[in-house]
Amino acid sequence: MGRAGKALKQVLDTYNISQNRLAVVMGIGRSNIHRWVNGTTDPVAEAVLEIRDALQQIHPDSATEFIRLYLEGEK
């Protein structure tokens, strides 16, 4: 699983945001979110920004946390 997928999984769990809710706000299929969260694929850079923007609409703190986790990566 890539950094973005790991960060997204953690943020969705921490802020109790469903994959479906994020997908609806982003205007994409839930299967895309599922693939990112489960490490099948990792979102491209443009999608990372779209994830951030969608999370900002749902819960602003989650967007900040997503970017922090994504930039820090594994320690």
CATH number reported for the structural domain that contains residue 56 in this entry? 1.10.260.40
Distance of CA 67 to the CA centre of its chain: 9
Answer whether 43's CB lies under 8 Å from 4's CB: yes
Q: What was the pLDDT predicted at 23?
A: 98
pLDDT at 73: 75
* pTM recorded for the entire structure: 0.91
**What is the per-residue pLDDT for 2?**
86
Q: Determine how many CB atoms are found less than 10 A away from the CB of residue 32.
A: 17
User: Which regions in the chain score pLDDT beneath 50?
Assistant: none
The domain in which residue 21 lies consists of 3-72
In this predicted structure, what is the pLDDT of residue 1? 62
What the block records as the tokens of 26 is 């982003």
Q: How many domains does the chain have?
A: 1
pLDDT value at position 38? 94
